[in-house]
Amino acid sequence: MSATITFLGGADTVTGSKYLVEHKRQRLLVDCGLFQGYKQLRLRNWAPLPTVPGQIDAVLLTHAHLDHSGYIPLLVKEGFKGRVHATPGTLDLCKILLPDSGHIQEEDAAFANRHGFSKHAPALPLYTKQDALESLPQFQAEHLGVWFEPIRGWKARFQSAGHILGAASLLLEVAGRRVLFSGDLGRPDDVLMNPPEPPPQADTVLVESTYGNRQHPQDKLFSELGPLLHKLAKRGGVAVVPVFAVGRAQAVLHTIAQLKAAGELPRGLPIFLDSPMAIHTTALFEKHMGEHRLSLAEVHAMDSVATMLETPDQSKSLATRHGPMVILAASGMATGGRVLHHLAQYVGDHRNMVILTGFQAPGTRGASLASGQSHIRIHGQDVAVRAEVVQIESASAHADGNQVLSWLHRMPSAPGQVYVVHGEREASDMLRQRIAHEIKWRAVVPEHGAVWPL
Ligand SMILES: [Zn+2]
């Protein structure tokens, strides 16, 4: 009997990555992410999985971003007893990200209950900070390039994917088949991360397609961000920069440090990093030297370029300051976190600026801002958008269509089947067409919930 794969997430969307691989009544999940964005997507987080968590033997995690890892505390709460295999970098990041995710969900539920705008009474968190903490002992670190056995007779190996600290592609061997999961692929010219390792030979490939229909501009973050912040400082405004606490926050900080060192920014322009998660992640760069491009001096410069705001009181004290200043805060798509308070305060003034630094999934506030909507809804209130909104695509941590194609093309010979995943439908379909026409491999975009033989 051949093995099968079920697409439980990350098919026709960029979020909720979850691929169930089954063979002879044994099963594992590759990635275990939360759905984010539109409500109908978020509702999928509440729907039961087709397999009860107690019958899943292992989870293999490609990286720590919540759209890949954020469902793990719920899986454990609902009876998953196996190991979560991940690289050391991913494990360190999950210790930061998952408890915070539980905390945010508790806060959102409490806020909805206090203000009575939830249709559910009472609104409940998907899981709590405590649930997340209790899931962490099931993690097991696996080093890059070293085979391990997640289930007896199944073999797996991680290799570097660029993207963020700890991020990996995964090669899985089961029932005589080799399946390669690209994970989120970094770009070869990323400011922080090394280029992704070339793909090993496989029979089946799952490849991400976040930017499958786009090419990144040649501009470097350095040359985009510098002039923007100059303009902002001149008019005395405040820049609110929603950042992914892991990855983009550090890329922006590193670039600001470079701009300051090169004399390209007004010396006195205050920079604030208002995200405990991003602060802790920044500190991890020193622990994981060699897994990224930065020298120790660059790590220290990135660390000292901003004033770090850990406590809620420090965060609130920003509201009494006047511009110019730059506030980096999570979350990167403005779906929650401290950045919401700053947006509510600053987005109504035309002197101010919102700088979007990464992919904005449809249905998020970030996507509304990017598409030029005149109002956004924050904490149940409509807020007028008068600030200048800028999206800088050079900050992306994902390979673009050309870069994904040239990564794939480095595989020694054609695989039997490619599944194009982790993209909005248009992006996935464009990449599928390019794979079929330009390198002449068999490629499909699987439907959510589809089951295929491996
Ligand atoms: Zn990611």
Q: What is d(CA 128, CA 105) in angstroms, rounded to the nearest whole number? A: 7
Distance in Å, CA 214 to ligand 1 centroid: 17
Distance in Å, CA 285 to ligand 1 centroid: 17
Distance in Å, CA 452 to ligand 1 centroid: 25
Distance in Å, CA 163 to ligand 1 centroid: 7
Distance in Å, CA 52 to ligand 1 centroid: 26
For residue range 247-273, list pLDDT tens digits in order.
889 999 999 999 999 999 988 899 999
Distance in Å, CA 332 to ligand 1 centroid: 12
pLDDT at position 411, please? 97
Distance in Å, CA 283 to ligand 1 centroid: 19
Task: Provide φ and ψ at 318, rounded to 5°.
Answer: -60, -30
Measure CA 352 to chain center: 26
User: Which residues, listed in sequence order, are joined to residue 7 by a DSSP beta bridge?
Assistant: 19
Q: What is d(CA 127, CA 371) in angstroms, rounded to the nearest whole number? A: 32
Residue type, 363: G
For residue range 151-175, list pLDDT tens digits in order.
999 999 999 999 999 999 999 999 9
Q: Is the pLDDT score of 121 beyond 80?
A: no
pLDDT at position 13, please? 83
Distance in Å, CA 168 to ligand 1 centroid: 10
| Residue 122: band (very low, low, confident or very high) from pLDDT cuts 50, 70, 90 | confident
pLDDT at position 14, please? 84
The CA-to-CA distance between both ends of the chain, in Å, stands at: 10
The pTM of the full predicted model, rounded to 2 decimals, is: 0.90
| Residue 118: band (very low, low, confident or very high) from pLDDT cuts 50, 70, 90 | low
For residue range 38-52, list pLDDT tens digits in order.
888 888 999 999 999
Mean pLDDT of the chain: 93
Q: What is d(CA 89, CA 192) in angstroms, rounded to the nearest whole number? A: 14
Measure CA 429 to chain center: 21
